[in-house]
Structure 1
Amino acid sequence: MRTVEKALRLLDFFTDKRVEIGLSDLARLSGIDKATVLRMLADMAECGFVEQNPETRRWRLGAGVLRLARLREHAQPVTRVLTPILEKLAQETGETAHASLLSGRDLANIGVIEPARANRVYIEPGLVLPLHATASGIAVTAFLRPEQQERVLARTLTAVTGMTPTSRAALEQVVRRTRERGYAVADQTFEAEVYGIAVPIFGPDGYAAGALAVAIPASRASDEHERKIIAALEPAAQSATTGLGGRPSPEHRISS
């Protein structure tokens, strides 16, 4: 892995639940030795991407990340496009609606709207969603460019739960089924007791650029509820594709 890529991937370990991380923890999480991690942190600190808390000596994201996020939002107003779509989707389904977009090799969750009910699925904003273990990831993988899809299938597939597909053959079967019906389902493959349903968002080239999904407690999963969610997801994903400047794939059709 290239040095720049290694450095940038350190940023993925920061979340809203882990806003500060110590050097030793970053080394452990990344699998990179402490001296190299410290050197990369120092380089990123010079650019404002990270900073060190002078009291705790732990590291956190810097103002440079916020500046780039603002530039990204100005160039492509993703939040403005997706938020009303997610709000409507959560209202229609009564479940947690979320959207994700591809960024390099990762699928990042960029927006979440939760329903007004106690028993609901919580999804962390900014969470990186494994392409092989989530409904969103599988929906995207099924409609990637062939060479991109091959790279996903060729990866080492890590088990997140006992239900995660971990062989190429198993993932190929799931991807093939997803292409046939136009949407992906994931039954506790990423988190126990969570059932996900997702439809791809397409980019300007007609290939998957992200996904729109609904996550529900597995105890509420049923054929009837799934049909209701898919009926709401299909037009929502079409609106997201159009709003973000994409075009639908002629190969994508929703079928039950």
Structure 2
Amino acid sequence: MSTQSVVTAMRVLEAVSDNQPAGLSEISREVDVPKATVLRMLRTLGELGWVAQSEGQAGKWLLTNHAFAVASRGSSGSAIRDAAMGPLNGLQLDTTETVHLAVPDRRFMLVLERLDTPHVLRAFLPLGSRVPMHASATGIAYLAAAEESYVEEYLSVPLDAVTPQTVVDPPSLRQLIADTQVRGFSINEQGLSTGITSIGVAFLGPGQAPAGSISISGPSSRIVREKFDEYGQAAIGAARDISRALSAYSTKLHPA
């Protein structure tokens, strides 16, 4: 297989991940490759156990459990998840809302772990989901902890709205980032999912650099403004513990 074929195969795999269940035409448009080539790649990836056709939707493709298992064995993601599980469990018990763990993946936050609320009405992001930074509490928190050059680069590309409430205006997003830096946690009201509010906090990894974020998410009818500070402080405490577990505690990011 040529180098270009490998590149195309990986792009097809990423397109399936981003859009699953993904159709042939959809994948072809995203990777800008003819349908015949995409189909050949999908069949090869299928033979290798990375993708499979959806049983419920004809002509649609999904990532397999094998793909998730390989990705979850990544050393960095595994170390972060191991460090985060204790604090995340405590945070979920304290708030009784859904808690997410996410790490940066280009311009997105990749959901590594989710602890669900016992409430019937709840927030839900499948493991492996990639959500735009500017549209998510985890992403805004990550941007608030990142270097200015990182934020500048992120804002250099037009921002797409996920919901009518998504902040896509660069000056407005900068204000959200600044507010997050002051209070220590982000607030995302319906920017990713209509009817869902989330509170996010970044944590540090090796070199004192932001390594990811955690969030508390739930229906906007439950996570009301009166709860913001309580949940924000709880998330700051959990993020502080994760940073410490990763040997990257910082009083600047997580003041006592």
1:132 is paired with a residue whose SS is: helix
Would you say the 8 A contact 1:131–1:152 is kept in 2?
A: no
Give the aligned partner of residue 50 of structure 1.
Answer: 51
**1:74-85 matched pairs, under 5 angstroms:** 76-85=78-87
TM-score w.r.t. length of structure 1: 0.82
**1:13-162 matched pairs, under 5 angstroms:** 13=18, 18=21, 21-28=22-29, 32-41=33-42, 44-45=45-46, 48-51=49-52, 58-62=60-64, 65-66=67-68, 68-69=70-71, 71-72=73-74, 76-162=78-164
Q: Tell me the percent identity.
A: 26
Matched, 1:239 2:241: yes
Would you say the 8 A contact 1:183–1:254 is kept in 2?
A: no
Q: Distance in 2 between matches of 1:157 and 1:115?
A: 31
Please give the per-residue CA displacement for 1:64-87, whole angstroms capped at 9, x wherever unaligned. 524523532698344433333222
Q: More deviation in 89-98 or 68-77?
A: 68-77
Q: 170, 173, 176: which is aligned to 2:175?
A: 173
2:207 is paired with a residue whose SS is: coil
Report how far residue 220 of structure 1 moved.
Answer: 2.2
2:83 is paired with a residue whose SS is: helix
Give the aligned partner of residue 199 of structure 1.
Answer: 201
Q: 12, 27, 35: which is aligned to 1:7?
A: 12
Q: Distance in 2 between matches of 1:141 and 1:5?
A: 27
Q: 213, 218, 221: which is aligned to 1:219?
A: 221
What stretches of structure 1 of length at least 5 have no aligned partner? none
Would you say the 8 A contact 2:12–2:31 is kept in 1?
A: no
| Aligned alpha-carbon RMSD (Å) | 3.1
Aligned length: 249
Report how far residue 137 of structure 1 moved.
Answer: 0.6
Amino acid at match of 1:13: D
What stretches of structure 2 of length at least 5 have no aligned partner? 1-6
2:213 is paired with a residue whose SS is: strand
Would you say the 8 A contact 2:184–2:232 is kept in 1?
A: no
Report how far residue 160 of structure 1 moved.
Answer: 1.2
Report how far residue 240 of structure 1 moved.
Answer: 1.7
Q: Distance in 2 between matches of 1:181 and 1:71?
A: 35
Report how far residue 31 of structure 1 moved.
Answer: 5.9
Residues 179/32 of structure 1: CA separation in 2 closer, same or farther (3 Å cut): farther
Report how far residue 223 of structure 1 moved.
Answer: 3.6
Residues 42/199 of structure 1: CA separation in 2 closer, same or farther (3 Å cut): same
TM-score w.r.t. length of structure 2: 0.82
Report how far residue 100 of structure 1 moved.
Answer: 0.5
Report how far residue 51 of structure 1 moved.
Answer: 4.7
Amino acid at match of 2:221: S
Would you say the 8 A contact 1:108–1:128 is kept in 2?
A: yes
Q: Distance in 2 between matches of 1:254 and 1:223?
A: 22
Q: Distance in 2 between matches of 1:120 and 1:52?
A: 29
Q: More deviation in 213-222 or 129-138?
A: 213-222
Residues 70/175 of structure 1: CA separation in 2 closer, same or farther (3 Å cut): closer
Give the aligned partner of residue 3 of structure 2.
Answer: none
Please give the per-residue CA displacement for 1:148-169, whole angstroms capped at 9, x wherever unaligned. 2222111210011121111221
Would you say the 8 A contact 1:99–1:109 is kept in 2?
A: yes
Q: Distance in 1 between matches of 2:81 and 2:28?
A: 33
